[in-house]
Amino acid sequence: MKDSILFQSTQLGPYTLKNRIVLPPLTRSRSSQPGNIANDLMAAYYRQRASAGFMVTEGTQIEPRGQGYAWTPGIHSAEQVEGWRKVTDAVHEEGGVIFAQLWHVGRVSHNSLQPGGEAPIAPSAIAADNVSVFIETAPGAGALAPPSVPRALTTSEVKEIVQMYAQAARNALDAGFDGVEIHCANGYLVNQFISAHTNHREDEYGGSLENRLRLLREITQAVAEVVGKERLGVRFAPLFASTDEDRVYLGLVEENPHETYVEAIKILEEVGIAYLSLAEADWNNAPELPETFRSAVRSTFSGKILYAGKYTAERGVRVIEAGWGDLVAFGRPFIANPDLPTRIANDWPLNPVDPSTMYGGTGKGYIDYPTYE
Ligand SMILES: Cc1cc2nc3c(=O)[nH]c(=O)nc-3n(C[C@H](O)[C@H](O)[C@H](O)COP(=O)(O)O)c2cc1C
């Protein structure tokens, strides 16, 4: 694969990427406690993977209420900013480019993870079903649990959330990140506003598609003012379900995904952000993105387009050569293969991923996957 398009450098905003292979956001739940602070172990993990052309951190909560799983790192306290600096220094020493993924889970959380044990926040007081959160049951030990019933944000609280994203983006720059990605995928807060299934609001943030996209617009604009539009990406997970089971994804139903996401992407184009990341459904027999949608995305958005979701190197090359995208992310393969780009370049075999060490724990299954000998 050495001579393939995956190894042709490309420009992302001000950055010249050495290849088109991306480390996508991957929650690994190994921050230091108390305080959800990025640490030396995490710096070692990201350093190992800095041969990626482009890296995005695991989701990092922008405020305490933004957390939905035990031990995920935040980016709202001074200690957390200091912790992230270890990660960005390590990656920069290896010549990598790394953005922070700004995350707010909204209703996909549990009272025990919320300040004061309060209800999680959401566009409307509708609990997520078909989805689990992960709570701490004893120090270092945890269990899956159903999300708690959320409470609806007031209109002025929604506006405060926009400012929290802007502040988190400032914190990301202070921590040495090269830019930020706004997590608008996978049924979390921004996605909960976009979907009519989870957004029953009657103010300017609910009702029409334009209103349901207002939070996305305001956050994207506010964060672009902080980091610059050329250092900004947005992640969506448009779901084109073919069965009723598929239609419920993180407890959230996507209606009219083509129209919804083309409209959403028009907003990103207006703001002029550097890239759009599309997370495709990644479970077994998951529905694929229709080619009509991929073409519509390409003709709507002039920035870089990044695809993820069960990609092989061959499939990644096809998507780039078809003109639909520019960058390809490999999630589980990058967890298990710190030297993934070298392995792809040389057509070497890949280590299998161990699902039992994905979330939480030590360096085992985190920084001890071997490079190819
Ligand atoms: C362990 C794990 C954690 C993940 N955490 C995040 C996350 O924090 N933010 C996000 O946007 N996507 C997250 N994802 C989705 C991945 O970024 C990616 O889209 C997905 O793994 C599909 O790619 P793959 O088939 O190459 O693994 C996660 C996936 C896995 C397996």
| Cα 155 to middle of ligand 1, angstroms | 31
| Cα 280 to middle of ligand 1, angstroms | 10
Q: Which atom of ligand 1 is nearest to the CA of 185?
A: 11
- 3-class DSSP state for residue 9? coil
The closest residue, in CA terms, to atom 11 on ligand 1 is 25
**Secondary structure tally for the chain: helices H, strands E:** 12, 16
Q: 340, 323, 322: which is closest to 331 by C-alpha? A: 340
- Using a 6 Å CB cutoff, which residues line ligand 1? 24-27, 58-59, 101, 183, 185-186, 235, 279, 282, 308-311, 330-333, 358
Whole-number Å distance between alpha carbons of 350 and 353: 9
Based on the number of CB atoms within 10 Å of its own CB, is 174 exposed (0-12), middle (13-18) or buried (19 or more)? middle
How is domain 5-357 classified at the CATH fold level? TIM Barrel (3.20.20)
* 188 in active site: yes
List, as one string, the DSSP characters of 123-154: SSS----S--EEEEEETTEEEEEPPPPPEEPP
pTM score: 0.98
56's enclosing H/E stretch is strand 54-61
| Cα 24 to middle of ligand 1, angstroms | 7
Q: 41, 19, 45: which is closest to 31 by C-alpha? A: 41
Q: Which of 45, 188, 311, 369 is catalytic?
A: 188
**How do the pLDDT tens digits run along the chain, 373 residues long?**
999 999 999 999 999 999 999 999 999 999 999 999 999 999 999 999 999 999 999 999 999 999 999 999 999 999 999 999 999 999 999 999 999 999 999 999 999 999 999 999 999 999 998 899 999 999 989 999 999 999 999 999 999 999 999 999 999 999 999 999 999 999 999 999 999 999 999 999 999 999 999 999 999 999 999 999 999 999 999 999 878 777 777 778 888 999 999 999 999 999 999 999 999 988 888 888 999 999 999 999 999 999 999 999 999 999 999 999 999 999 999 999 999 999 999 999 999 999 999 999 999 999 999 999 8
| Cα 203 to middle of ligand 1, angstroms | 33
